[in-house]
Structure 1
Amino acid sequence: MTALERNNDAIPDQAPRPAPLRVRRNRHPGAHLLALAVSACVLLPILSLAYVALSGTGEDWPHLARNVLPGSALTTLYLMAMVAAATSIIGVAGAWLVVGFDFPLRRTLSWALVLPLAVPTYLAAYAFGEFFHYTGPVQSLVRSIFGFQTIRDYWFPDIRTTPGAAFVLSSVLYPYVYLTTRVIFLMQGRNIADAARTLGAGPAKVFWRVLLPVARPAIVAGVALILMETVNDIGAAEYLGVRTLTFSIYATWLNRGSLEGGAQIALVMLMLVFALLGAEQWARRRQRFHTGRATHMQARPPRTRLRGRRAVAALLATGLPVLAGFGIPLFVFGQYAARRLEQFASPALGRAFLHSLATATATAIITVLLALFLINAVRLCRSRGITIAVRLASIGYALPGGILGLGLLFALARFDNTLDGFMRAELGFSTGLLLTGSAAAVVIACSIRFLALAESAIRSGMEKLPPNLDEAARSLGHTPARSATKVLLPLLKPAIFTAAVLVFVDTIKELSATILLRPFGFNTLATHVYENASRGVPEEGAVAAILIILTALVPVMLLSGALARDREATM
């Protein structure tokens, strides 16, 4: 051995040894498990539908693929295309006019354009059907003016067609586009629009070349939400005689007695819904705003004063949608209800009202509690797994009520039958239908569907709080649970109240899932109106319809009040 080798052996190894790998422990396993359980409940209807659709003999599929799906799919796509075009034109034009121009009643119309959101689509269909009927006020006025005697003497467009259904749906759904587009137009401030004006561009050119391209993602997002509501509709489509995919699900199940066929149509429809959801998410990814000093929300873009015929045209363009989407339903059902004031004392209507209140209250409480838990779990755990679980729990709002109700019915019926069989065999007594035989199924369905609504409202309130507020409380010795209850919850009361009100009202209006899941003899305000309309006497449900509209006005008026506080531009 050489001297160099001896010296090397004598020198100890100074290279640092790698530290042992640390396994990151899950500090909140309960939060992970509950978040996964909530996500599983949301996915349960989809998995149940897939199981039912694929487990049968498949003998109905050739008939459905040849005779039902082509016509229903084309009708649905045709309806969606017309609704998308109409709501885009009405919503974007209304937002542009109230933000960029000054004309009579502009301030009032800026918030009144939101009022049609208080009218469910099925109520709008019943109201328009009566308003444009042969004995309705419009055709009666036409006959009196021109002296016509019978329907053969003149032509009048039929509301009970696919274009008629598109007109009805567009009249109450356009506020989705109006709200998203209006926010974008306001957030532009004086920056890009003023830059275009200084280069000599007029208002029309600024709109087409500057504002519209910037607002395109918001328009797509609003239209995607509208199309999901269009796909979800059953009451308006059935009353107006439009055979959409949702209508075909009910017809295949109830008329043909084929659960398997209804589930197969529901899966086809679900693929369409996920495509819409993907378009909406794509639009949100491209939606970015710069809110520096030049574009702060307090600095409104200057408005151009309109006079003469232009002012009248702007007034008509913004006023007619309000009259159609909110004025006509309120006029029709208000007129019918005024002749049936004794129905306010009707026991059947009283029970339907109490059922609606109980169902909506339970749903609001459950969704708010779950939303608070999910948001707190993401805040505490900060792991990719729980973030994905919360996102999965939010897809329920994208599920049409018919699909959700159908899939949940299969799953809950299997649970009830399995539990009843076990209790009979082991304990000798029957539990009956615990879930599908009570209003619990309706509450579960509405909670799954509107959880995303509550989570979004509360998360928006959370994002407005200082990010280090909770950490400051914990640095003073508070546990995560105590800091959440003592610090965050009091500050989140407005957001929690907003979330509860929105879920409450949407549950009051919900029809598709309630029809499928309600137990025998259990009526809500929505199903009370639906049953009367199905028997050809929608006027008998006028009082219930007025109660629905008045209840839905609560969040709409809150939103309208926020819009009414829009101040003039400060120079």
Structure 2
Amino acid sequence: MSKTTPISPSTAKVGTPNGQPNAQANGPAGRRNKPGGVLFAAVGWMVALTCLLPMLAVALAALTGGTETIRHLGETVLPGYAGTTLILVLLVALGTGLVGVGAAWLVTMTRFPGVRVMEVAMILPLAFPAYVLAYAYTFVLDHPGIVQTSLRQMTGWGPRDYWFPEIRSVGGAALMLVLVLYPYVYLLARAAFLQQSAGAFLAARALGNTSLQAFWRVSLPMARPALASGVLLAVMETIADFGTVSYFGVQTFATGIYTSWFSLADRAGAAQLALCLLGFALTLAVAERATRGKARYHHAGKHQAKMPPVDLRGARAALAFVLCALPVLLGFALPVIILAQMGMESEQNLFSKRYLGFLQNSVTLAITAAALTVAAAVSLGFYQRLRPGRPSALAGHVSRLGYAVPGGVIAVGLMVPFAAFDNTLDAWMRANFEIRTGLLVTGSIWLLVAAYMVRFLAAALGAYEGGQATVHANMDAAARSLGQSPLGMLRRVHLPILTPSLMTAMLIVFVDVMKELPATLIMRPFNYDTLAVQAYRLASDERLEGAAVPSLVIMLVGLLPVILICRQVGRRS
């Protein structure tokens, strides 16, 4: 009969002194951990390399495509693409910054009638893709729309007797993008202002600064990292936008890529334009990080006094309410009313077999992409937890590059290498076995889902890591001391705790895929259309009433994560 040996506390330790689990722990548990760590490392780097593949493929295709195409583009359309894209970026950055920061300051630092409603309602425009707003406002503000028609009827003017702002312009596209993207800046700015101490602001007031001067010189610089992140998100969405600029006839890099790929069948030109857009996006991200530098802001003292909000009365209160309500009215309430009216006047039947097919395609793609993206985020995030260090950190940084890469660039970057693979395989099979394999990967649903994963993995990683931070390292140590392998620890400890975070991540990716347009247009299988593609096609044919029906469905789906965000904002108010 064997004798049980008591285990001393020193030998029972399975973690490092800072509480992190030790992957090299001795004994059976440590030996079981090693294969799991290798498995997650392999999967994590597989995900990272998949995210890196489109960028490498675009660069290689562009550099090997010859200089004739890029020289011709440089002499013709490239300066126009670059100039228009830059103007659009500047307008959206300025607009989202002004609206988002101004609204965040009003709802956090002042009190006026309706402020509780406004601080939640300001998020609602996030449910709309910009191209849906473009369809709605074109229907109302274009020359045959109700606004100009009523103006001509009231005044008796002819078409050339008056001037009216052109909605189909760079300014119109910038306005649509500002109305749906300012919530990015608003959410981050509101959180930054709520976390600020009143000490610095009151000190500035004591030194003779007005409230506006103290805001400009103290509060705004302290919130700068959050504001820059919000504006950068809006800018990245701007350069990735295709539906709005394409419908308005605004020539940007995104429209140029699509035109080169489909209309001109110029793969080298599309790759070179995609490389230009990729470089533009990465330059913006690096520039924002470089200008931020190592600046840090800390609150001195143990107690952080909150800023007492200022009560507004009379005309000031009314002005604050109007300033907050105007973006909500233009970015959410009015488009919903317009689209509902357009949908009722259309002949589109959402419950017809054809539309149910569009809905089924959209939901199938969104569910599949959400599941794959969250699984990739879990694998990569758990790899970083198991093996913290430079390799895992590098894999995480590479995997996040997708947020800075427009969908059109990812589409071209995946189509080029896999089309070459399919053509090479088909030629080899015909030469050796007289069998035509055709396109096995290119044009498949799985390649499109891979593009979605690359594009939206950063969002899923953010949601997963936010939940993972709540799982204490002692839980890992306890699981390992009980003989759990890394896979068992993930399945039995982490996943049950992180279920809410994982569901949030899946919902975010699901909605983003439902709204995504450029990658879907380029990569979708033949005769496999989604609601976004159907809305774009009808709007391109100037059948705006018909485009309202799929647009409303996309908006309603987009409301799901917005409602979750509104609940969180309401709890913190």
Match of 1:68 in 2: 77
Match of 2:496 in 1: 490
User: Relative to structure 1, is the Cα distance of residues 419 and 383 closer, same or farther in structure 2, using a 3 angstrom cutoff?
Assistant: farther
Between 1:349-358 and 1:471-480, the stretch displaced more is 471-480
Match of 1:401 in 2: 407
Find out whether 1:314 has 2:320 as its counterpart.
yes
Find out whether 1:438 has 2:444 as its counterpart.
yes
User: Relative to structure 1, is the Cα distance of residues 249 and 169 closer, same or farther in structure 2, using a 3 angstrom cutoff?
Assistant: same
Residue identity matched to 1:75: T
Residue identity matched to 2:147: V
Find out whether 1:238 has 2:246 as its counterpart.
yes
Find out whether 1:84 has 2:93 as its counterpart.
yes
Match of 1:565 in 2: 571
* TM superposition shift of 1:200: 5.6
* TM superposition shift of 1:353: 0.6
Residue identity matched to 1:41: T
* TM superposition shift of 1:37: 1.7
Q: Which residue, out of 279, 286, 289, partners 2:287?
A: 279
Match of 1:266 in 2: 274
Residue identity matched to 2:442: T
Match of 1:177 in 2: 185
Match of 1:461 in 2: 467
Q: How does 1:36-185 map to 2 (within 5 A)?
A: 36-143=45-152, 147-185=155-193
User: Relative to structure 1, is the Cα distance of residues 345 and 72 closer, same or farther in structure 2, using a 3 angstrom cutoff?
Assistant: same
**2:77 partner SS:** helix
Q: How does 1:459-538 map to 2 (within 5 A)?
A: 459-538=465-544
Number of equivalent positions: 540
Residue identity matched to 1:373: S
Task: State the Cα deviation string for residues 270-310 of structure 1 (Å, max 9, x = none).
Answer: 11100112134444864555598633xxx753211111211
Task: State the Cα deviation string for residues 509-554 of structure 1 (Å, max 9, x = none).
Answer: 0001000001111101110101111111122121100000000000
Match of 1:188 in 2: 196
* TM superposition shift of 1:408: 0.9
8 Å CA contact 2:402, 2:456 repeated in 1: yes
* TM superposition shift of 1:139: 2.7
Match of 2:12 in 1: none
* TM superposition shift of 1:456: 0.9
Between 1:126-135 and 1:549-558, the stretch displaced more is 126-135
Q: Which residue, out of 328, 350, 356, partners 2:334?
A: 328
User: Relative to structure 1, is the Cα distance of residues 232 and 353 closer, same or farther in structure 2, using a 3 angstrom cutoff?
Assistant: same
Residue identity matched to 1:480: P
8 Å CA contact 1:96, 1:185 repeated in 2: yes
Between 1:230-239 and 1:545-554, the stretch displaced more is 230-239
TM-score, length basis structure 2? 0.89
* TM superposition shift of 1:59: 2.1
**Aligned-partner Cα distance in 2 for 1:258–1:417:** 17
User: Relative to structure 1, is the Cα distance of residues 121 and 383 closer, same or farther in structure 2, using a 3 angstrom cutoff?
Assistant: same
Q: Which residue, out of 16, 38, 45, partners 1:29?
A: 38
**Aligned-partner Cα distance in 1 for 2:296–2:557:** 33
User: Relative to structure 1, is the Cα distance of residues 483 and 533 closer, same or farther in structure 2, using a 3 angstrom cutoff?
Assistant: same
Match of 2:7 in 1: none
Q: Which ranges of structure 1 fall in alignment gaps of 5 or more residues? A: 1-23
User: Relative to structure 1, is the Cα distance of residues 153 and 32 closer, same or farther in structure 2, using a 3 angstrom cutoff?
Assistant: same
Task: State the Cα deviation string for residues 204-233 of structure 1 (Å, max 9, x = none).
Answer: 232112111111222211111111111111
User: Relative to structure 1, is the Cα distance of residues 339 and 244 closer, same or farther in structure 2, using a 3 angstrom cutoff?
Assistant: same
Residue identity matched to 2:256: S
Between 1:419-428 and 1:385-394, the stretch displaced more is 419-428
User: Relative to structure 1, is the Cα distance of residues 31 and 427 closer, same or farther in structure 2, using a 3 angstrom cutoff?
Assistant: farther
Q: Which ranges of structure 2 fall in alignment gaps of 5 or more residues? A: 1-23, 25-30
Find out whether 1:554 has 2:560 as its counterpart.
yes
8 Å CA contact 1:119, 1:329 repeated in 2: no
**Aligned-partner Cα distance in 1 for 2:226–2:348:** 46
Between 1:537-546 and 1:505-514, the stretch displaced more is 537-546
TM-score, length basis structure 1? 0.90
Residue identity matched to 1:80: V
Task: State the Cα deviation string for residues 342-377 of structure 1 (Å, max 9, x = none).
Answer: 612222211111000000000010011111111111
8 Å CA contact 2:47, 2:380 repeated in 1: no
**Aligned-partner Cα distance in 1 for 2:504–2:535:** 27
